[in-house]
Amino acid sequence: MRIALVQDHLRVGGTERQTASLARAFAAAGHEVLVVTFRPGGTLAQDMPASVRSVALQPFDLHLDWFAPGLVRTVRAFAPDVVQLMGRMANCHGARLVGALPGTRVVATFRTGKRIPWLYRRALRRAAAVVVNSAEAARRIARDHGVAGAQVHVIRNALAATAAPAIDARGRVRAELSATPDTTVFLCTAMLRPGKGHRRLVRAAAALPRDLPWVLWIAGDGTERGPAESLAHELGLGERVRFLGLRRDTADLYAAADVAVLASDLESLPNFLVEAQWLGLPVAACDVAGVGETFLPGASGLLVPQGDHTALAGAMERLARDPALRGRMAVAAREHARSEFDPDRQNARYLELFAGLRR
């Protein structure tokens, strides 16, 4: 098949990593793949293999996620069998592609907890199929947008980062970041942007007992980093909360940490928790959208009410005080992630969907 994936920019983010992962998998399976981005560059662009053709529509980075000059012309020239739309901005152009490419199957996606604009909703209604990444997203798209039935396909996010941690990662990274062997390390790797709940996570950390040996590592960057760092300083957390910025060694961070934590308000199905469990981290997270489908509450982690930083602190303290519980949950987390988010299985489901749409 000839498959085009459309994405505004290959920045570091959950949907963008899924785009890069799918492109590599489709090409490895012998399909012709084109990745069309609106903006050139992006951290993930450098990881694209030579077997994947990439085209950026803007002649230089205008920092406009919505501007896609020549989109229809570029996709039409590739003559794809299927166009897979990835992300909010790509989906906003979906209805236009449906109208311009009558012989091509255009597949929309719905993997966001945010409100979506009218153009996005129009694409959902006109697409040949819509992929959602959780059962909760399927319920929401039916309730809020009237898209349901055979048009909607639940395909969970596959593990997008399969790199194994370095053999010495745990001791080396903990030494680098001043975590002693008896320190419980909580880790959150997510873009610091509105809706991700980083300030709530800092407040949860502030509610932990000061005599308990713990640290919180927050990896990632974005507009919320400054406010979150200021709050940590105001609450007197000092070296307890470390803001690590963008890191490419996330597998090493997972190996060095003890618990994955997430306090988001807006999610669909967070890749961070999939990756963390894959490498054996139990979870403490707030119950929003598809988060509860990412892990096994009570078995591979603890789920607390949305927005309740006190309850999140209680879950974090429970895991910090009970290494045996963390150990049992780590085993369950690894087994669950490898059963439910296997890349080969999830990527194959996309290809099965595409083949079915062409019949």
Q: Are 106 and 98 in contact (CB under 8 A)?
A: yes
Q: What is the mean pLDDT of residues 239-255?
A: 91
Is residue 195 situated within a structural domain?
yes
Q: Based on the domain organization, do 154 and 288 belong to the same domain?
A: no
The CATH code of the domain that includes 217 is 3.40.50.2000
- In terms of residue numbers, what domain contains 186? 169-340
Q: Based on the domain organization, do 187 and 326 belong to the same domain?
A: yes
Dihedral of CA atoms 66, 72, 78, 82 in degrees, nearest 10, equals 80
For 109, the token pair is 């996606």
What digits encode the pLDDT tens for the residues 213-246? 999 999 999 899 999 999 999 999 988 999 999 8
- Locus of tokens 């993997």: 111
Q: Based on the domain organization, do 278 and 251 belong to the same domain?
A: yes
What digits encode the pLDDT tens for the residues 21-63? 899 999 999 999 999 999 998 888 877 888 999 999 999 999 9
What digits encode the pLDDT tens for the residues 147-201? 888 899 999 887 766 567 888 889 999 999 989 999 999 999 988 888 888 999 9
Is residue 230 situated within a structural domain?
yes
Q: Based on the domain organization, do 327 and 354 belong to the same domain?
A: no
Q: What is the pLDDT of residue 212?
A: 94
Q: Tabulate helix, strand, coil % of the chain (nearest 5).
A: 45, 20, 35
Q: What is the pLDDT of residue 28?
A: 93
Q: Based on the domain organization, do 96 and 245 belong to the same domain?
A: no
Q: What is the pLDDT of residue 260?
A: 97
Q: Are 43 and 11 in contact (CB under 8 A)?
A: yes
